[in-house]
Structure 1
Amino acid sequence: MANDHYFSANPSSDSRERQIHVTLADRPLTLTTAAGVFSPDGLDRGTRVLLGSVPPPAPDGALLDVGCGWGPIAITMALESPGAEVWGVDVNERVLGLARANAAAAGADNVTVTTPDDVPAGLRFRTIWSNPPIRVGKDELHQILLTWLPRLEVGGDAWLVVAKDLGGDSLQRWLHDTLDAGFHVSRASTAKGFRVLRVHRAAE
């Protein structure tokens, strides 16, 4: 239906699954996307910018992709860090199924894809990568970030990609003003109209 969004929990539109060809972690892959999900035709520009600019994720421990969609960021983390435990979270049941299938197709057997509520409450993350769902609205976006960023381990980093014209600079300021003093927020890079923000947890 026309009122479906990629952040709808249960899209009612016909899924119309399709095969796409992408390269993740230097590996050519054939994965599956569908209607009613974010960027069904392949990697969006923001995700390309993020994956092309961040340092490698932590080699072990728990890693997190917030708003995993059909799975490209979580799969990349898992392939680059096979010794890590990668979590991909989303609220859209359609993309959860796609991400699980895509992780299996990519041989990324260290990925767990689930809803936010099913992530163990005490789990801390060494690395977070995210192309966050900006279009859910500012209040909801802030709530999402305040749910996950405080769960960084000390010494851990979160990397967020946000379009400049969708509030990348204002989000950087908000994170700086809102997070505890133990978090350092900086702009790591700019490319193709996107900001890549780094949130480093230096202390409790």
Structure 2
Amino acid sequence: MTGDHYFTSEPTVAAQPREVEFSVAGRDYTLASAGGVFSADRLDPGTAVLLRKAELPTATTGGDLLDVGSGFGPISCVLATTAPAATVWAVDVNARARALTTENARRLGAADRVRAVAPDEVPAEVTFAQIWSNPPIRIGKAELHELLRRWLPRLAPDGAAWLVVARHLGGDSLHRWLVDEGWQVERHASQKGYRVLRVTR
């Protein structure tokens, strides 16, 4: 057994490169993945629900988009594909995940528009038209709340954040917490035990 988690900054588990295939909005994706990153062998079911049920950006969407906890980059790659005028910030503490996201953006011809960075590398002045996340629930509730308090305030005044959370992992309690924090929260969709939340100011 290894002590690594997908939220380890420098995974020591063997990379064992692999590929993950999935389809979103009529487009097929084949992305590089590896051991030591979140959901290394498949598109995570929660991420799949998020990408299927949330309102994806379009060709007219500009500005900066944020993917919090990007993993090997499935959300970032979909955002970069559907919103070619936008810049996507793919934030992850895991260096291997960031490298994979960069490689996958290059495969899609979007290397100039996807910036895979550590959390502290996002310039303080950048605000986001959209924030997307399948947040890392397993880091613990206090850490999760700290994560959301860090990034949600950087939403543009008319922006929206899209989150997916499994109901059995606290999707409904997170909804209530976000409301208590002063956010407008809509349960946009529910599917396969997951809640898709739309969060606005």
Give the direction of change, closer, same or farther, for the CA distance of 1:65–1:150 in structure 2 (3 Å limit): same
Query: RMSD across aligned C-alpha pairs, in angstroms?
Result: 1.2
Tell me, yes or no, if the aligned pair for 2:166 and 2:195 is still in contact at 8 Å: yes
Counterpart position of 2:77: 75
Residues of 1 paired with 2:72 and 2:188: CA distance? 26
Residue deviations 1:103-143, cap 9 Å, x none?
A: 11122231111001000101100011110000000111111
Q: Which amino acid aligns with 1:21?
A: E
> Which of 94, 97, 109 is residue 96 of structure 2 equivalent to?
94
Residues of 2 paired with 1:99 and 1:13: CA distance? 18
Segments of structure 2 that go 5 or more residues without pairing to the other structure are: none
Counterpart position of 2:55: 55
Residues of 1 paired with 2:28 and 2:5: CA distance? 28
Counterpart position of 2:163: 160
Q: Aligned pairs, how many?
A: 198
Q: Describe the SS at the equivalent of 2:160.
A: strand
Tell me, yes or no, if the aligned pair for 2:17 and 2:35 is still in contact at 8 Å: yes
* Matching of residue 119 in structure 1 with residue 148 in structure 2: no
Counterpart position of 2:87: 85
TM normalised by structure 2 equals 0.95
Identity of aligned residues (%): 52
Residues of 1 paired with 2:175 and 2:194: CA distance? 12
Tell me, yes or no, if the aligned pair for 2:25 and 2:52 is still in contact at 8 Å: no
Residues of 2 paired with 1:12 and 1:188: CA distance? 38
Shift of 1:27: 2.5
Residues of 2 paired with 1:85 and 1:93: CA distance? 20
Residues of 1 paired with 2:141 and 2:80: CA distance? 30
Q: Which amino acid aligns with 1:119?
A: V
Residues of 2 paired with 1:190 and 1:56: CA distance? 16
Residues of 2 paired with 1:21 and 1:186: CA distance? 30
Residues of 1 paired with 2:132 and 2:189: CA distance? 14
Residues of 2 paired with 1:25 and 1:93: CA distance? 29
* Matching of residue 185 in structure 1 with residue 188 in structure 2: no
Shift of 1:25: 4.7
Shift of 1:50: 0.2
Q: Describe the SS at the equivalent of 1:159.
A: strand
Residues of 2 paired with 1:137 and 1:102: CA distance? 29
* Matching of residue 39 in structure 1 with residue 39 in structure 2: yes
**1:13-28 pair list within 5 angstroms:** 13-28=13-28
Give the direction of change, closer, same or farther, for the CA distance of 1:87–1:25 in structure 2 (3 Å limit): farther
Segments of structure 1 that go 5 or more residues without pairing to the other structure are: none
TM normalised by structure 1 equals 0.93
Tell me, yes or no, if the aligned pair for 1:134 and 1:166 is still in contact at 8 Å: yes
Tell me, yes or no, if the aligned pair for 1:90 and 1:114 is still in contact at 8 Å: yes
Tell me, yes or no, if the aligned pair for 1:24 and 1:72 is still in contact at 8 Å: no
Tell me, yes or no, if the aligned pair for 2:185 and 2:199 is still in contact at 8 Å: yes
Residue deviations 1:120-176, cap 9 Å, x none?
A: 101100011110000000111111100000000011000100000000000000111
Q: Which amino acid aligns with 1:18?
A: R
